[in-house]
Structure 1
Amino acid sequence: MTLLSVNLNKIAVLRNSRGGDEPDISRAAVTCIEAGCGGITVHPRPDLRHIRPDDVRTLAALLRGRVEYNIEGNPFAAPRGDYPGLIALAREVRPTQVTLVPDSDGQITSDHGFDLANDAERLRPLVAELRELGCRVSLFVDPGARGFEHAVAIGVQRVELYTGPYAKAFEEGNAGEQLALCVDTARRAQQAGLAVNAGHDLSQANLGTLRVAIPGLAEVSIGHALIGEALYEGMTTAVRNYLQILR
């Protein structure tokens, strides 16, 4: 079955908006785990807008030996203040997976993937270090991405397909073209020897269609929609609904 990794960034956004410790990141993670999810995702950013480095460390201790731990981020974002940098965090906590994303400070959320042909050599030493730490390495890629052989050549094991355009098209009632593009991209990545993850704006409404269309989908990372749905139906119910879709 495709692994469900729950992104907890939005829990941290709510906590940070008020200060203090509520809602509690650890309690949210435990609730998701007890509901059956197979992983937890966080995406710390240098501006500390949501998940903070201390959250990354706390969750590492909590999750070890229980579920997969996926940390996302831009490996080229320089350390500042309390943010030590993505690779430094990975050295500290040794997550199951590190998903490299080319986002910038000005982006509200990730909105594009790497250009594999042009970015591979810059990424090569970072991928090598992460592999030496025992982390699985995934790269965020656009639907329609090319050059998966470059990712394989530098030691990347997975790609995460950016599903934002598919989700937008699905909401507008014309997802066919974007779905076909996702399917073709996933197929070419798999043929190159990469496993395929997917994430961004996936929801209970659109996940099933994508899951059926992409055989062998390894993992979906879902946060924004799941946390929003949990406000109405509860966190445990929301997680279990996603798991049922993935089955």
Structure 2
Amino acid sequence: MTKLSVNINKIATLRNARGGNNPNVIQTAKDCERFGAQGITVHPRPDERHITYQDVMGLKDVVTTEFNIEGYPDDRFMEIIEKVKPAQATLVPDGPDVLTSNAGWDTVTHESKLTAIIGRIKSWGVRTSVFVDPDLKMVEGAAKIGADRIELYTEPYASGFLKNKEVATGPYVAAAARARELGLGLNAGHDLDLHNLKHLKQNIPHLDEVSIGHALICDALYYGLENTIQMYLRKLQD
């Protein structure tokens, strides 16, 4: 079964808007797990506009499912990964001034840099995933640099789904098939929601994990967090 990792960045954003500790990020992570989520994802940025360094340290001690920390692999991020040793480190190419991830790595151009970074992270016993577009060359590059998995950037799929879902799915099916041939694990994330998730899962049955935050938290405002997580899990059922 494809695992659901809940990205709790938006919980931290809401807390930070008012100050204090409401909603409680740590308790929300525990509740997500209690409600059925098989993983927790955070993306700590240098300006701490949502998840803070202290949040990550606190989550380290309470997350009992898979803890996935994503981010740009600068010195601060690498320090966090070495200290926390999460189940997975997901490398994304966006710098500190980017609002949200909007493209995958060029694994060919950055081959040398990423190879060194991945080597360090794997030496700490942490699984590595590299955020990539559904481009066969980028998938092949990810295998060459030693990544354990790729995470397919699914915003183009989500936007194309509304126009022609079969056309939108095509590049992802091809990229997923190539990843499997190369022995890479397969994750996906960005703009996946209750409308487009099931179709992606049906076309890529060997998907290991999806990371969903913004849409899931928005849905939770209407349906409640527990019910929403269960709704997403049903979309991932084989």
Partner of 1:74: 72
Does the 8 A contact of 1:131 with 1:137 survive in 2? Answer: yes
How much does 1:144 deviate? 2.2
How much does 1:129 deviate? 1.0
Residue 4 in structure 1 maps to residue 4 in structure 2: yes
Partner of 1:27: 27
Residue 174 in structure 1 maps to residue 147 in structure 2: no
User: Where in structure 2 are the equivalents of 1:1-247 lying within 5 Å?
Assistant: 1-63=1-63, 66-76=64-74, 85-170=76-161, 172-247=162-237
Q: CA RMSD in A?
A: 1.1
- Runs of 4 or more, structure 1, over 6 Å off, are none
How much does 1:145 deviate? 4.3
More deviation in 119-128 or 198-207? Answer: 119-128
Task: Structure 2 unaligned segments of length 5 or more: list them.
Answer: none
CA distance in 1, matches of 2:138, 2:48: 33
Does the 8 A contact of 2:139 with 2:175 survive in 1? Answer: no
Query: Which residue identity does 1:108 align to in structure 2?
Result: L
Query: Which residue identity does 2:68 align to in structure 1?
Result: N
Match of 1:62, SS state, is coil
Partner of 1:81: none
Query: Which residue identity does 2:15 align to in structure 1?
Result: R
Query: Which residue identity does 2:224 align to in structure 1?
Result: G
Does the 8 A contact of 2:194 with 2:232 survive in 1? Answer: yes
Q: What is the aligned residue count? A: 237
CA distance in 1, matches of 2:88, 2:19: 29
What's the TM-score, normalizing by structure 1?
0.93
Match of 2:128, SS state, is strand
What's the TM-score, normalizing by structure 2?
0.96
CA distance in 2, matches of 1:45, 1:2: 27
How much does 1:122 deviate? 0.6
Give percent identity, aligned residues only: 46
Does the 8 A contact of 1:115 with 1:145 survive in 2? Answer: no
CA distance in 2, matches of 1:149, 1:162: 15
Does the 8 A contact of 2:6 with 2:39 survive in 1? Answer: yes
Match of 1:5, SS state, is strand
